[in-house]
Amino acid sequence: MKVKKSPRTALFPCPVVLVTSVGLSGKPNIITVAWTGTVCSDPPMLSVSIRPSRYSCKSISDSGEFVVNIPTKTILRQVDFCGMVSGKTVDKFAETGLTPESAAKVKAPLIKECPVNIECVVKNQMPLGAHRLFLGEIVQVHVDKEILDGTGKIDFNKAVPFVYNEGEYWSLGEKIGLYGFSVSKKK
């Protein structure tokens, strides 16, 4: 038997990312975002949704660019902190000990401690209600060599990403299948 619930953000899991930006002030900032996802493969694009009241929202809107940094569970405390305090009053890089690194194509920094960094240029933005949606075209991807397997793919056991489920952080489990396995021919 199903129980009816009122409309809410019930989609799970949501990837947890750290979004970096540099506004007109030139000050780099970090915000934790769970409202993010892939939206197009050609050209490669992703989305992030941020409340307009957040410092990063104006920064991204003004600069037209951002970096999505995929954290590991080893920096969970810093990730949570970056979502709890405002970059308006706190230097999150200094407070967390996270290391900014220069990006290749945008002014927003990469976060060294994140094994995957995705540089984006804003292609569109729109108000949605409580959040502003930014559609970013991916212009460069950086991946730590240490998390690649022998074929050059990301080994998720080495990357140790985590997700957000309705107010809780969860680690990922084991691989349970491959894309297309249900229709592939048996050998």
* Predicted TM-score of the model (pTM): 0.94
CATH number among 3.90.1150.10, 2.30.110.10, 2.60.40.1930, 2.70.70.10, domain 14-171: 2.30.110.10
Judged on CB neighbours under 10 Å (0-12, 13-18, 19+), 26 is exposed
Domain boundaries, the chain: 14-171
> DSSP code of 86?
-
Alpha-carbon separation of residue 42 from 45, 46, 139, 142 (angstroms)? 8, 11, 12, 18
Contacts of 3 (CB under 8 A, 6+ apart): none
DSSP 47-77: EEEE-TTSHHHHHHHHHSEEEEEE--GGGHH
pLDDT by residue (tens digit) across 2-39? Answer: 999 999 888 899 999 999 999 898 999 999 999 999 99
The pair of structure tokens assigned to 61 is 């809107």
pLDDT by residue (tens digit) across 70-103? Answer: 999 999 999 999 999 999 999 999 999 999 999 9
